Amino acid sequence: MIKSKQHLAVFQAILAAALFGISSPVSKLLLEKIPPMLMASLLYLGAGIGMLFLGLIKWSKNTKAKEAKISKAELPFVIGMIVLDIAAPIFLMIGLTMTTASNASLLNNFEIVATALVALLIFKESIGKRLWVAIFFITASSIVLSISDFSSFSFSVGSIFVLFACICWGFENNCTRMMSLKDPMQIVIVKGLGSGTGSLLIAVLMNEYASDIRYILIAMILGFFAYGLSIFFYVTAQRQLGAARTSAYYAVAPFIGVGLSLILYNEQITVNFVIAVILMLFGAYYAAVEKHNHKHIHEMVKHEHRHEHNDSHHNHVHENFENGEHNHVHVHESTEHEHNHTPDMHHAHDH
């Protein structure tokens, strides 16, 4: 059962990547009509409003909530998530105005490196040998893409802005991971409406406006799919895989973006770009094939999240026992065992 859940989580992470992969090339088209700050706002507002609509439909059909709601304990992570999600797409949109869509799409993989390092250094999430190899290749690829002229060692300004966006998203992924046991739809709604409103205020202060309703609607629809649904599947995958590994499977996204960019813009393929693609492919491969298995101890913990009783971690008993998925506050007794696992919220142990 645990393995099947992890396989589903991998599929969700790749689906999230596929949806996000369309954002950079399509956003670059829309940036011809919509200023960068406003564009960032519309993407997240489209995500928030779209998911709110789906949420209202879902909640109207379900009388009993299966998902745990965000509580006051998660408030610092909610604030961090919103602030970082205001900054990241703004950096990305500015970067897209200064570099090619394919270059920006491939550089988005640096988010894996940023997420993994933040997970390791701040949240103490374990990183295996293969993931370290993946980080090396992805970082090397990002450097190749960021240096516009090796003879004079000059950096591409557009690429630097895209890397700033990836760093912001790296921190944000870890904030989101700390809430991954909560209702993913609620997370996306809060993220979308909060970040979108914040970006909109900045756009207004910067006097950035757009008058063509068609392009505004297209940007919001893009935001619903490329950000809203993508984030929903990403957060759901994090429950089983942890922040670093979910981000690793997300490595599919840039290659989808690159392919779409080459079709839409007929961009010239440079030697640097080919080298970067090869390095990034190696990085994506090693990130995807990492395995983690050792004897570990689960300390006693009390928390609340959606779960069922057919795995080795939820063997508690309670009144009105339910076989299917349900939600309530429950206690995990201290236990020691060995199996393949990822650093999800049940495996945040030391190594």
Token output for 235: 């957060």
Amino acid at 193: L
| pLDDT at residue 260, as a whole number | 83
CA–CA separation, 256 and 106 (whole Å): 9
153 three-class SS: coil
Give every CB contact of residue 125 below 8 A, 6+ residues apart in sequence.
119, 242, 243, 244, 343, 348
pLDDT at 225 over 60: yes
CA gap 337, 222 in Å, rounded = 45
Question: pLDDT tens digits, residue range 105-126?
Answer: 878 878 878 988 898 888 877 7
State the pLDDT at residue 295. 61
Contact 257, 47 (CB under 8 A): no
Residue 181: the pLDDT is 80
Predicted confidence at residue 5, as pLDDT, reads: 75
Q: What is the C-alpha separation between 112 and 97, in angstroms, rounded? A: 23
pLDDT in tens, 156-211: 888 899 999 999 999 998 998 888 788 889 999 999 999 999 999 999 999 999 98
- Whole-number Å distance between alpha carbons of 124 and 151: 39
- Portion of the chain with pLDDT greater than 90, in percent: 32
Q: Nearest-CA neighbor of 35 among 96, 86, 101?
A: 96
Contact of 253 with 108, CB cutoff 8 Å: yes
Please check whether residue 170 is in contact with residue 111, taking contact to mean a CB–CB distance below 8 angstroms: yes
Structure tokens at 324: 């299917």
**pLDDT (average), residues 78-99:** 93
Please say if the pLDDT value at position 65 is more than 70. Answer: no
More confident residue, 288 or 20: 20
Determine the average pLDDT of the residues in 242-268: 76
Q: 101 pLDDT exceeds 80?
A: yes
What mean pLDDT is reported for the chain?
A: 80
The amino acid present at 145, given as its one-letter code, is L
Domain-wise residue ranges, the chain = 2-295, 298-340
Distance linking the first and last C-alpha atoms of the chain: 25
Work out the pLDDT band at 213, boundaries 50, 70, 90. Answer: very high
State the alpha helices, DSSP H only, in the chain: 2-21, 23-30, 36-61, 75-96, 101-107, 110-121, 129-146, 157-177, 184-205, 213-223, 230-249, 252-265, 271-288
Residue 89 dihedral angles phi and psi, to the nearest 5°: -65, -25
pLDDT above 70: residue 138: yes
pLDDT surpassing 80 at residue 344: no
Residue 80 has pLDDT above 80, yes or no: yes
Res 256: pLDDT: 80
Q: What does the pLDDT look like over 272-318, one tens digit per residue?
A: 788 888 888 888 778 767 665 546 465 655 555 554 655 555 565 66
